[in-house]
Structure 1
Amino acid sequence: MGRERFEDGSGPDSNAAMLLDEYLPAFDATQVEHRIVDADPETTYDATLDANLLDLGPIVRLLGTLRAAPQVLADRLRDRPRTAPPERMRFADVPETDEWTLLAESPGEEYVFGAVGKFWQPSIQWRAVDADGFTAFDEPGYAKLAIGLSVRPYGDHRTLLSYEARTATTSESARRSFRRYWRVISPFAGYLMRRALARIEADAERLANRTTRRPSRRR
């Protein structure tokens, strides 16, 4: 299940306070995906942070290769060295990257990270910021992207896993550029989000089955 919006203003009203609302309460576009997982919230949260995002299938790998192609070409033309791609990438690895920053975490409940850049450019122009700098950043011509992953109890031993990506632009020119980009990229973004949730769901349910399985008795 999922939904996408492009709007002016803030997100939907909710009685539940979200860390994501503290860092990007107003946005131009949002995409939300949900998954009901047959595992408890603690297990699902651990699986969320530990899932290998590079193991989401051949289509996802192809999309990643296509998105990175302009940067690879630019590096070759400028004779800049390219670092080897990582063998594994997890949400827990976000603070170790140059482009993304961990904005906030409520352990066992919600994990929020973000980035600032000109995402519509073939070779993305990033701006490094910390959590405080992310909130205050307002230099014209950029967009701020905040991603929130959260888990909530859903009945007995089940979890509602949510993945939301919000984007806010800092000027009208950036908003126009992002709007054109988003109309093309949003279906692919939704697909990537759903694949990530499916990976997390499978990992969480496998872990839950492993911990609840009772050893068989020898006869």
Structure 2
Amino acid sequence: MSEELDHWLPDPVIRSRHRRAARATPADLWAAATSIRLEETRRLGRLVGWRIPGVQGSMTYHELFRAYPFNVLDESEQRLVSGLCGRIWTLARDYPTLDGPDAFRAWDEPGTVRVAFAHGVRALEDGRSELWSEARVQPIDTSARLRLKAVWAVVGPFERLVGAEPLDLAARRAES
């Protein structure tokens, strides 16, 4: 799953990965994952709604990663790669609108970061399927690197609790 983002952000400062297996087909697990709504995840749903303008609790994560401030960078039948750029540590929520994948790749505004998210499903050898998610953050310059590290020192310890929440829910839903 790392290879999904190597093309977009090969040298991130921050990398987050989550995986959840389920006794379900890849198609069923992906369908469950794309149906999870922000309001169904207590911690992450609230955090996303607070940080991103215009987000409604009834929105699915799949819809979220396809709408402003995100840009679809790449996708296939059971995989989605999205990205955003900006100053993710401010309360201003002033993310720029990018004109597609090439604009994401070319982004180089000082004092900002590029963030890429990849989500997908793969079949496992034992008949189960695995839902995976990875996020990478790459600062554009030293100023952004310092700000990012300061924010991550506060947020990072909670990332495992928050980031896995939608995957756990999707795995349970696919198995039921």
Superposed pair shares fold, TM > 0.5: yes
Residue 134 of structure 2 corresponds to which residue in structure 1? Answer: 164
Q: TM-score if structure 1 supplies the norm length?
A: 0.71
CA distance in 2, matches of 1:187, 1:196: 18
Q: Write out aligned runs for 1:67-82 (5 A).
A: 67-68=50-51
Please report the RMSD computed on the Cα atoms of aligned residues, expressed in angstroms: 2.3
Paired with 1:165 and 1:47, the residues of 2 have a C-alpha distance of 20
2:146 paired with 1:176: yes
- Which shifted more, 19-28 or 164-173? 19-28
Corresponding letter in the other structure for 2:30: Y
**Does the 8 Å CA contact 2:113/2:140 hold for their aligned counterparts?**
yes
Deviation at 1:41, TM superposition (A): 1.0
Greater radius of gyration (CA): 1
Structure 1: runs of 5 or more not aligned = 1-15, 72-81, 207-219
Task: Name 2:173's counterpart in structure 1.
Answer: 203
Q: CA deviation at 1:60?
A: 4.3
- How do 1:18-167 and structure 2 match up within 5 A? 18-57=3-42, 59-60=43-44, 63=47, 67-68=50-51, 86-94=56-64, 97-108=67-78, 110-129=79-98, 130-167=100-137
Post-superposition Cα deviations, 1:154-199, rounded to whole Å, max 9, x if no partner, equal 1243112211110001010010001000111123332221111111
Where does the alignment leave 5 or more consecutive residues of structure 2 unmatched? none
- Match of 1:23, SS? coil
What is the CA-CA distance between 1:94 and the residue it aligns to? Answer: 3.0
Task: Name the count of aligned residue pairs.
Answer: 175
Q: Which has the higher contact order (CA 8 A, sep 6+)?
A: 2
Identity in percent:
25
What is the CA distance between 1:32 and its match in structure 2? 0.8
TM-score (norm 2): 0.87
